[in-house]
Amino acid sequence: MSILGTPRPTTPATSAGPAAPTFSGNRALMLEEPLVFELGDSSTSGVDLEAVPAHASRLAELERSAPIGLPGLSEGETVRHYTRLSRQNYGIDLGLFPLGSCTMKHNPRLNEKLARLPGFADIHPLQPQDTVQGALELIHRLAHWLTTLTAMPAVAMAPKAGAHGELCGMLAIRAAHEARGDARQVVLVPESAHGTNPATAAFCGYAVESIPADARGRVDLAALAARLGPDVAAVMITNPNTCGLFEPDMRRIADAVHAAGGYVYCDGANFNAIVGRVRPGDLGVDAMHINLHKTFSTPHGGGGPGSGPVVFSAALAPFAPLPFVVEKDGRFHLVEEETADAEDHGRSFGRMAAFHGQMGMFVRALAYMMSHGADGLRQVAEDAVLNANYVLRGLADVMTAPFAASGPCMHEALFDDRFLEGTGVTTLDFAKALVDEGYHPMTMYFPLVVHGAMLVEPTETESKARLDAFIATMRDLAAAAKAGDVARFRAAPRFAPRARLDETRAARQPVLAWTPPRSPQSEAA
């Protein structure tokens, strides 16, 4: 049996009895797919390779002495295998993707076309700078867009993802404190911040202390003010926060932190809700990473490393990492060494990576920005917020929204599990039933400040008709739960390629590698 889980019976159940599996395991065009190791044969090869005489090998003692154990398939078999697997995947190209706090945005095909242009797709990081002037100019222009949209004077383009960007910002904060001989030891993280924030602070050697949220789902200002002191290096805050709410007191928070000698790190994962409307630099932010895949449409990963540029205030700009692109006399240069001028990264904490960022992501992000323009990016944020509030109000009478009384949400609508009390249905059951309705589940059990949380983020690209269909589905599920149709939820998903997995066991006893089944002879031995 495949380690992917238990295959679903493929003949529908009838009144005469339970479903019976078909001979092939297939269900019409939804094909049962073994692992590539189970399909292939390690004794065969999908390509013809010319034999190399032993005396001609240049590998010496590094030459392989035993078969590598990779499955051999023909080109056609390989294409079919991965195409069949792709049919079992759900993505933004198939339907609404409500996964909250992750912003599964539409990736315009124009971006993909431009990212594949020669001069962007086939350059090498070790090419002479004179041969990549266009690429350096694109990086420089993208950096200008990012600093303009955030009102921050400097940006580091090297970080490869959001968490990598967090690390970059916190290393700059640590370098700034060390430069003035101020060895601070504590970072404050509100409960409504992203989960990677405390991990990043701890990785940088800081003790992490939590700041509670108030009844409105925002940072408790009194608790924050009471904890600020000479040992606090920074506050890591997410705005808009993970409850889908804007922190209206951000300026007051920043002023208090600065007065205590600390810095403000803002998690910019939710920047897509405010881009074009609010500039973090105006709110007193000192460092903020920007997830290009969340705000500017680049794919998660993008076929390789992601991209999480970090913008810096004037106070932290000298400590930003190397390298960075500068323009001089109409030419673009990659500055890779520290300079004596402290205002020109003279106190940089060093490098985040061997090479400067991820070119494919940069091209896609700039294409998105230039396609929309400043006014269009503002509309992107407004439409994202409008769609989330439409979902929130469309479900508020049948589901429970913990902060509905606090005013409009931002780009994501948050619900809890109070409406399921007494039904025997859990948040997990509800999400699994959503799979049977043709949707990817929303984010479950996060943020942690809300019991049984269900976080829905429709993004700006969904039409009213698609939102109405999703809302109708959610309302139907809520009604079924309250009507006592527990079996519908406990059995879900019924129509997915795999039955519900034991998620506790999967987390505690993960199977990370395929091992071939033991033969009867080996079992006997």
Helix residue spans in 120-238 (DSSP H): 133-150, 162-179, 196-203, 221-227
20 lies in some domain? no
Strand partners, 380: none
DSSP state of 212: -
Tens-digit pLDDT profile for residues 93-122? 889 999 987 888 888 999 999 999 998 999
Question: Residue 137 has what pLDDT?
Answer: 96
Query: Which amino acid belongs to residue 254?
Result: A
96 lies in a domain?
no
- Taking the C-alpha atoms of residue 195 and residue 211, their distance in angstroms, rounded to an integer, is 13
Q: How many domains does the chain divide into?
A: 3
C-alpha to C-alpha distance for 80 and 385, rounded to whole angstroms: 41
Which residues of the chain have a pLDDT value below 70? 1-22, 54-55, 301-304, 338-346, 519-525
**Cα 498 from Cα 520, distance rounded (Å):** 28
- Determine the Cα–Cα distance for residues 171 and 353; give it in Å rounded to an integer: 13
Give the pair of three-digit tokens for residue 331. 């030419």
475 and 403, same domain (yes or no): yes
Tell me the CA distances in angstroms from 350 to 6, 129, 163, 319, one per residue in order: 49, 21, 18, 8
Q: Provide Rg for the chain, Cα atoms.
A: 26
Query: Which pair of structure tokens corresponds to residue 229?
Result: 């002191």
Q: Which two tokens stand for residue 199?
A: 């991990």
3 state SS of 88? coil
Of 303, 332, 367, the position where a domain reaches its end is 367
Range of 454's domain?
A: 374-508
225 domain-assigned:
yes
382 and 346 in one domain?
no
User: At which residue do the structure tokens 């033991």 appear?
Assistant: 518
Q: Which of 367, 399, 434 is the last residue of a domain?
A: 367
Predicted pLDDT of residue 1: 39
Is 313 found in the same domain as 290?
yes
Rounded Cα distance, 268 and 266, in Å: 6
Which of 322, 338, 367 is where one domain is finished? 367
**Within this chain, do residues 306 and 343 fall inside the same structural domain, yes or no?**
yes
β-pair type (454-456, 443-444) = antiparallel
Same domain, 452 and 436: yes
Residue 179 domain flag? yes
Task: Identify whether 45 is part of a domain.
Answer: yes
* φ, ψ at 335 (rounded to 5°): -80, 120
The secondary structure of 40-82 as a DSSP string is SBTT--SS------GGG-S-GGGS--S---PPB--HHHHHHHH
Q: Are residues 232 and 329 in the same domain?
A: yes
- 235: in domain: yes
Q: What is the pLDDT of residue 168?
A: 97
- 386 in the same domain as 346: no
Q: What is the pLDDT of residues 434-482, one digit of tens each?
A: 999 999 999 999 998 899 999 999 999 999 999 999 999 999 999 999 9
Instruction: Clarify whether residues 337 and 409 are in a common domain.
Output: no
CA neighbours within 13 Å on the CB side: how many for 388?
A: 33
Residues 71/72/75/78 CA torsion (nearest 10 deg): -20
Half-sphere exposure of 48 (CA within 13 A, CB side): 0
CATH code for position 210: 3.40.640.10
Q: Name the H helices within 204-246.
A: 221-227
Please indicate, yes or no, whether residues 65 and 142 belong to a single structural domain of this protein. no
Interacting residues of 250 by C-beta distance below 8 A, sequence separation 6+: 237, 239, 283, 284, 285
Residue whose C-alpha is closest to residue 154's, from 297, 329, 302, 346: 346
Domain co-membership, 182 together with 299: yes
* 361/381 same-domain check: no
Joined together, the tokens standing for residue 513 give 């590698």
Q: Are residues 272 and 336 in the same domain?
A: yes
CB 245 within 8 A of CB 224: no
